[in-house]
Chains A and B, each alone.
Chain A
Amino acid sequence: MSGFSAVRLLREALRGQTGWGQQWRSPDQPQAAYDVVIIGGGGHGLATAYYLAKGHRVGRIAVLEKGWIGGGNTGRNTTIIRSNYLFPESAALYDHAVQLWEGLSQELNYNVMFSPRGVLMLAHNVHDEQSFRRHVHANRLAGVDNEWLDAEACRAFCPPLDIHQRRYPVLGGALQRRGGVARHDAVAWGYARAASALGVDIIQNCEVTGITRANDGAVTGLSTSKGQIRAGKVGVVAAGSTSLVMAMAGVRMPLESFPLQALVSEPVKPVFPCVVMSNTVHAYISQSDKGELVIGAGTDQYPSYSQAGGVHILSHTLEAICELFPMFRRMRMLRSWGGIVDTTSDRSPIIGLTPVPGLFVNCGWGTGGFKATPGSGHVFAATIARAEPHPIAAPFSLGRFTTGRLIDEAAAAAVAH
């Protein structure tokens, strides 16, 4: 892999771009056997393969992707990155990711455009205020940056914001300055390129159709649309399709997969400096480097694998955007799309071992998986390599649904009095 740099860019410009090779190897056919196979070529799966190859001596590694890498939720999300979660277990996981984000472009020699422009979460009622201030206290104690802004300070940080909107005026907000956005496609491509350079086989258009197991129940290999593959260990990182893959090994999961939509506006000159989230009125917005307003909508209420949702979901979000930012009413929606998000009952992910020896799973990221990509891959790689949970991953075990040790991040925004 020849390095990317400004000098190289100039050299290639002078010789007609002839020196650029494939960014990652994509063999048409898999080898007959691998020591570790990762199912799912999204950001999390590719990151897992990269950290396995880089930091653990596990032998031959392959990533199997049924479509094209990065074509699922990695390329369909609104790229928000933050770590200001309430519970220490969550904050540790997501902050591990943010720390990796901060050096990821250099690590991968690929500009993933991590842009810590600050994530501002708005409070619209007393309950929000109490909840977000609790987050601020908890995060600061855990060493995660988060600060409370009053309403005027929110407007100063995000000038388009109307803090006096009539129905749900802004009372204040929790700001994480280290939070921000990144270029989602580049994350998949950058990890693929770096993993490929370390010898990982990335097999695209290769759908897993079965999981083969030995008499003792342990995983021995996979049936795929490109034939049988023997595998020592298998890591399932299949997001919305996790239940389907795990069912091939006879494992039922505490997951439901829902459609989640997002949209962008037409591009405009810089007008929106940060990321703003409002759980109360359901609005999530930032502006991409290209100039598009990037807006996250909600999930539909029913599980679906259709990657399509209802217009009323988009309307609901745009109503909120138009209230918070009244000058955007004349902006236009350019493109909308849907993804499939796998959600758990406590809205926290599952990372770890499964009842099947040799089978590992990383799923349940719901609507917020992109932000965790590097951290998720990093701790999952260690978990697979050592066949025991990485300390940061340990609380996110499948077993918590049995013991009741849930990590319920949604709960803190629970009922109002």
Chain B
Amino acid sequence: MLLIHCPWCGERAELEFRHCGEAHLARPTNPATLTDAEWAEYLAFRDNHRGWVRERWRHVHGCGRFFNALRHTLTDRFAASYKTGEAWPEPPA
């Protein structure tokens, strides 16, 4: 079970959180102008990267906040977590 750092509450057990997918995928401001392919890209296509990824979590059984985290998908280690809207940190070298 992961130990996750909520930027608002500190370290808590994974059971308090819900993973919410890849981060920094802003919803298009005017979807009507997108092609079907562009819209599908937003809906379904993902990096699914092996290595450092930026992802969303919600402290659903705590403060309820969504936040972002930097995690390595091979080691499952976190490098950072940061609030929604904050600039993302660079992954460790």
Q: Whose C-beta in chain B lies nearest to the C-beta of A402? A: B40
List residues of chain B with CB within 8 A of the CB of A310. Answer: 1-2, 14
List residues of chain A with CB within 8 A of the CB of B76. Answer: 302, 304, 306, 308
**Docked-complex contact B15 and A312, CB < 8 angstroms:** yes
Q: Chain A, 255-297, contact with B by CB distance < 8 Å: what is the 0/1 string?
A: 1110000000000000000000000000000000000000000
Q: Whose C-beta in chain A lies nearest to the C-beta of B1? A: A310
**Docked-complex contact B46 and A305, CB < 8 angstroms:** no
Expressed in whole angstroms, the minimum distance between the Cβ of B5 and any Cβ of chain A is 14
List residues of chain A with CB within 8 A of the CB of B86. Answer: none
Interface residues of B in 54-93 (CB under 8 A from A): 55, 71, 73-76
Expressed in whole angstroms, the minimum distance between the Cβ of A255 and any Cβ of chain B is 5
Complexed CA–CA distance, A247 and B2 (Å): 28
Q: Chain B, 34-48, contact with A by CB distance < 8 Å: what is the 0/1 string?
A: 001101110111111
Interface residues of A in 213-258 (CB under 8 A from B): 241, 243-244, 247, 252-257
Complexed CA–CA distance, A254 and B37 (Å): 12
Interface residues of B in 11-42 (CB under 8 A from A): 14-15, 18-19, 21, 36-37, 39-41
**Docked-complex contact B53 and A303, CB < 8 angstroms:** yes
Complexed CA–CA distance, A342 and B53 (Å): 17
**Docked-complex contact B40 and A256, CB < 8 angstroms:** no
**Docked-complex contact B46 and A306, CB < 8 angstroms:** no
B15, B37, B44: residue with the most chain A Cβ atoms closer than 10 Å: B44
Q: Whose C-beta in chain B lies nearest to the C-beta of A403? A: B36
With A302-B55, A306-B73, A306-B76 in contact, is A401–B50 under 8 Å at CB? no
Interface residues of A in 285-341 (CB under 8 A from B): 301-306, 308, 310-312
Complexed CA–CA distance, A301 and B48 (Å): 14
A243, A253, A305, A308: residue with the most chain B Cβ atoms closer than 10 Å: A305
Expressed in whole angstroms, the minimum distance between the Cβ of B60 and any Cβ of chain A is 11
| Contact-residue bracket for chain A | 20 to 34
Expressed in whole angstroms, the minimum distance between the Cβ of A135 and any Cβ of chain B is 25
Interface residue A348 (Cβ < 8 Å from any Cβ of B): no
With A252-B41, A306-B76 in contact, is A312–B1 under 8 Å at CB? yes
Complexed CA–CA distance, A43 and B70 (Å): 34
- Give which listed residue, A253, A255, A304, A345, contacts B43 with CB less than 8 A: A345
**Docked-complex contact A401 and B40, CB < 8 angstroms:** yes
With A402-B36, A402-B40 in contact, is A252–B46 under 8 Å at CB? yes
B2, B21, B41, B73: residue with the most chain A Cβ atoms closer than 10 Å: B73
**Docked-complex contact B48 and A253, CB < 8 angstroms:** yes
List residues of chain A with CB within 8 A of the CB of B71. Answer: 302
List residues of chain A with CB within 8 A of the CB of B2. Answer: 302, 310
Complexed CA–CA distance, A18 and B75 (Å): 45
With A301-B18, A305-B74 in contact, is A256–B37 under 8 Å at CB? no
Interface residue A344 (Cβ < 8 Å from any Cβ of B): yes
Interface residues of A in 145-179 (CB under 8 A from B): none
**Docked-complex contact A243 and B15, CB < 8 angstroms:** no
**Docked-complex contact A401 and B48, CB < 8 angstroms:** no
Expressed in whole angstroms, the minimum distance between the Cβ of B37 and any Cβ of chain A is 5
Expressed in whole angstroms, the minimum distance between the Cβ of A242 and any Cβ of chain B is 8
List residues of chain A with CB within 8 A of the CB of B40. Answer: 254, 401-402
Complexed CA–CA distance, A302 and B69 (Å): 12
9 additional contacts, CB 8 Å, given A253-B46, A254-B45, A303-B73? A243-B49, A247-B49, A252-B47, A254-B44, A256-B46, A302-B76, A305-B74, A345-B43, A401-B40
Binding site for B on A (CB under 8 A): 241, 243-244, 247, 252-257, 301-306, 308, 310-312, 342, 344-345, 401-403
Binding site for A on B (CB under 8 A): 1-2, 14-15, 18-19, 21, 36-37, 39-41, 43-50, 53, 55, 71, 73-76
Nearest 9 pairs of A and B residues by beta carbon:
A243-B48, A254-B44, A402-B40, A301-B19, A302-B19, A310-B1, A401-B44, A305-B50, A252-B45
**Interface pairs (17), CB distance under 8 Å:** A243-B48, A252-B47, A253-B48, A254-B40, A256-B21, A257-B48, A301-B14, A301-B18, A302-B71, A302-B76, A310-B1, A342-B48, A345-B43, A345-B44, A401-B43, A401-B44, A402-B37
